[in-house]
Structure 1
Amino acid sequence: MLKIKNIHAAYGNIKAVKGIDIDVPSGKIVALLGSNGAGKTTTLKAISGLMPLEKGAIELDEVPIHSMAPEKIAGLGIVQSPEGRQIFTSLTVEENLKVGAFTEKSREAVDMRMKSIFGYFPRLEERRKQIAGTLSGGEQQMLAIGRALMANPKVLLLDEPSLGLAPLIVKDIFQIVKRLNDEGVTILIVEQNALQTLKIADYAYVMETGKIILEGAGKDLLQDEKVIEAYLGGNR
C-alpha cells in the first residue's frame, strides 16, 4: 500500500534521513522505532508532504505522492496524528473532531464518523462540549487520534502517541491502536516506547542517525535481547 523507497531528507546541511526503505502493507501495523534524533518524525513529515525529499520516492498504491502538496496527500487518505497532539485548545472536543472532517461535505457522514470515534473513545463523548485545552494529556491524545480518524484515513500515521502519558493511559492508547487495526485501519506508528509498540506491530524498523539498522517481525524483535538492550531501551 505505502512504499518508501530510498528517501533522503535534510535540514540544511544536516542529513536527517539517509536512504531508507519502508513497506507498509494494507491492513498491517508497521512501527518505526528509535531514539530522539533518529529521523523518525522527519520520515513522517516526508510522507505527509511537509518535508521535501532530496532523493527517493514515496508511493501510495503504486502512485508517486512525494511531489504532491500536503492537502493533496491527505485527500488521498494519508492522515497524521502529530507529535505533541497539536489540538485546537480553544475549541471544544466536538469542534476539534469536525475540523478533522473538513473535506467531507456530507453532514450524515460526519455524524457517523463522530459516532464511531465516540465508540473508540467514550471519554471524548462525555466531554464533547468541553474546551479541548482543559482535557488531561491522555484525553488530548485520544482527541488527536480521533481527529485524524475523522478524515477516514487509508493509512494512519501516529507520531509518538504515548509521549508524556502515564503508564496506564499508554496501555489504553495501545489497546485502541490495536483495535483500530483489527477493524481495518492500516497504521504506521513512530514510537520511542519500543516494548509496547512491538507487542502490537506486525513488522518494525529500527532507525539510528537517519538509517534503518534493523528490521523484522514485531514478535521477533521483541524476543531479541540484543535489540532490547542496545536499541529499544530497558528490559522486558
Structure 2
Amino acid sequence: MSEKTALSIIGLKVKYGAIEALKGIDIEVKEGDVVALLGANGAGKTTTLRKISGLTEASEGSIQFYGKEITSMEPEKIAKLGIAQCPEGRQIFRDLTVEENLKVGAFTVKSSKQIEDNFERVYKYFPVLKERKGQTASTLSGGEQQMLAIARALMSSPKILLLDEPSLGLAPLIVQDIMNIVKEIKKEGTTVIIVEQNAAQTLKIADYAYVLELGTISTHGQAEELRNDPKLIEAYLGSH
C-alpha cells in the first residue's frame, strides 16, 4: 500500500448562509485506499464530497490533491486533474443510451485508445451494461442505473473516485455487488472516497474511516478497528 497522500483536507469550513455545514474538518486520504465517510443525515458528508469536486465554496481551510492546492479551483479543472464524482441520486442522462452516458463520462479523456480501454474496463466490472449498451438509461433498473453512474465516473480515468451513497435504495444483493466492485476498483489502483449510510457493509471494504457528526469529525481510524468500536456499533451498525 502506498504511503503517498492523495488528498488532504485541512481546517475545512463550509457555510450555507448562517449554517456552518462543516466546522473545520481535517481528512487525509492515502493513495490507493478506500476511505469511508460515515454519519447520520446532515452530518456534512455530501458537503465534503461536493467541496472536493469544487461544487460548493469553502469559507475557510484548504484542500490539496497530491500537494496541489485545489480549494478555489473550478469543477471542470478538478475533474481534469483526476477527481470524478458519482453523485447521490445517480443523475444519469435518462434519455441517452447506456453507451452515450458512458461517452459523456469520458469528456476529459483526449486519447481514443484510453477511452476504448475505459469502455473495456467498465464493461468488465458491469457486464450487464454491455448487454444493455443500446438501451436508454431510463429503462434500466435502479441497481443498473447506479452501476451506470459509477461506470460513467470511471470513464474519466480518475485518480480519486468519489461515491455518494451508492447503495441508497438498492436491494441487499445489489449492494453486495456494488461493494465488491468498489474492492475491484481499489485493486486496480484507484483511490476511493465513499459516503455511506450503510456503515457495516462499508467498513468491510474500507481501509480507513471518518465519522462525521454535525459538521465535525467525532472519530476516525482504521476501518477494522472502527468495526469493533462499541460506541460506533451502537450508533450506526446496530447490535451484532
In the superposition, the TM-score normalised over structure 1's length comes to: 0.98
Letter in 2 for 1:83: E
1:37 maps to 2:38: no
**Cα distance, 1:108 vs structure 2:** 2.4
1:63 maps to 2:76: no
1:50 to 49, 55, 66: 55
Per-residue CA deviation, residues 82-112 of structure 1 (Å, 9 max, x unaligned), is: 0000000000000000000012232222111
Q: Which residue does 1:166 correspond to in 2?
A: 171
1:234 maps to 2:228: no
The 4+ residue runs of structure 1 with deviation greater than 3 A are: none
Per-residue CA deviation, residues 127-150 of structure 1 (Å, 9 max, x unaligned), is: 000100110111001000000000
Distance 1:219 1:233 in 2: 13
**Cα distance, 1:63 vs structure 2:** 0.8
5+ long unaligned stretches in structure 2: 1-5
Distance 1:174 1:180 in 2: 10
5+ long unaligned stretches in structure 1: none
Q: Which residue does 1:113 correspond to in 2?
A: 118
Per-residue CA deviation, residues 70-91 of structure 1 (Å, 9 max, x unaligned), is: 0000000011000000000000
Distance 1:85 1:235 in 2: 30
Distance 1:235 1:69 in 2: 43
SS at match of 2:158: coil
Q: Which residue does 1:145 correspond to in 2?
A: 150
Letter in 2 for 1:235: S
**Cα distance, 1:193 vs structure 2:** 0.4
Distance 1:209 1:188 in 2: 19
Distance 2:137 2:47 in 1: 27
Q: Which residue does 2:225 correspond to in 1?
A: 220
Identity %: 61
Distance 1:139 1:33 in 2: 24
SS at match of 2:41: coil
SS at match of 1:43: helix
1:88 maps to 2:102: no
Q: Which residue does 1:126 correspond to in 2?
A: 131
Per-residue CA deviation, residues 33-56 of structure 1 (Å, 9 max, x unaligned), is: 001100000010110001100000
Per-residue CA deviation, residues 153-197 of structure 1 (Å, 9 max, x unaligned), is: 010000000001000100000000011101111001011100000
Distance 1:191 1:168 in 2: 16
Distance 1:140 1:225 in 2: 35
Q: CA RMSD in A?
A: 0.8
Letter in 2 for 1:234: G
Distance 1:225 1:200 in 2: 19
